Amino acid sequence: MKVLHIDDSKLVRTMVAKMLTSAGHVVDSAEDGASGLAAASRNRYDVAVVDLMLPDMTGIDIVRTLRSDRRTARLPVLICSSVQQRSMVEEAVKAGIQDYMLKPIDGQALIDKVQRLGGALIREPIPDIEGSMARLGVPGDMAFFAEAVRDFVGQSREDVDELRQCLEAGSADRIAVLLSRLQGDARNLGAEVFDEQVSSLAPALATGGPLDPEAYALLMERLEELEAFSHDMETKTVMPR
């Protein structure tokens, strides 16, 4: 897993990097909130380990910023701090952290928490890339697959917007076509999270039910995740054609 660690102490950054890399994880370290948030916006991480008290902002500020950005809204956050005040811990929980541990850091406890958070809370938009490429007849061709995902995202955005218009106009036949294409293309790619989102809405939409703003936003969020996923495949994964 890839871990983002934000702490203003060089000693702590070195210790945490050593602990986590010894367990097979990749660690990017940041010394303040601004550089940590910049890294989170550029890269895909499985878990963020964040100090509570930093020179430029608090860990709670960082969590709130992460949660407000769709690219990082689901990133699990572990606060690692010497602060024990109950009010601060409660505020961190309300901001959206997944766990809290006190310094001094216990190496094995840190590793266990990181592995649990990363494994339990992060679900890739396309869980089985190899299987999806094989199903499409392009095993190992990551560049082709990334392009296919981008094409799917572009088409699906248009389809979701048209779907909303058709629901307002009551165009039942066209609604059925759009739902079928959205689900079929998602299944061909193995885009399970998006497929599940569409499938959960399909029964109501098929009978002319409205696509409310929250449901629309969730569909677009899933597509943004797929777009980021395709970019991640292009920039971080090198596979032979």
Domain final position from 121, 150, 176: 121
Residue 142 makes CB contacts below 8 A (sequence gap 6+) with: 129, 133, 233, 234, 237, 238, 239
Number of domains present in the structure of the chain:
2
- Do residues 10 and 110 share a domain? yes
Q: Does residue 120 have a pLDDT over 50?
A: no
- Do residues 69 and 19 share a domain? yes
The CATH number of residue 203's host domain is 1.20.120
- Do residues 94 and 149 share a domain? no
- Do residues 112 and 11 share a domain? yes
Convert 151-176 to b/e letters by CB count within 10 Å (16 or more is b).
ebbeebeebbeebbebbeeebeeebe
Q: Would you call the peptide bond into 104 cis, given omega within 30 degrees of 0 as the criterion? A: yes
- Do residues 49 and 113 share a domain? yes
Mean pLDDT over residues 45-60, rounded? 95
Q: What is the pLDDT of residue 236?
A: 53
- Do residues 72 and 171 share a domain? no
- Do residues 220 and 133 share a domain? yes
- Do residues 172 and 117 share a domain? no
In a domain, 139, yes or no: yes
In a domain, 156, yes or no: yes
In a domain, 34, yes or no: yes
Q: Does residue 179 have a pLDDT over 80?
A: yes
- Do residues 112 and 68 share a domain? yes
- Do residues 86 and 175 share a domain? no
Structural domain range at position 146 = 129-236
In a domain, 201, yes or no: yes
* pLDDT classification of 74: cutoffs 50, 70, 90: confident
In a domain, 241, yes or no: no
Domain final position from 80, 100, 121: 121
Per-residue pLDDT tens over the stretch 190-238? 998 788 888 888 888 888 777 777 678 778 877 887 887 888 777 654 4
Range in 147-161, 178-192, 221-235 the model is least confident about: 221-235
d(CA 116, CA 95): 20
Bridge partners (DSSP) listed for residue 50: 6, 79
pTM over 0.75: no
Domain final position from 73, 88, 121: 121
The CATH number of residue 107's host domain is 3.40.50.2300
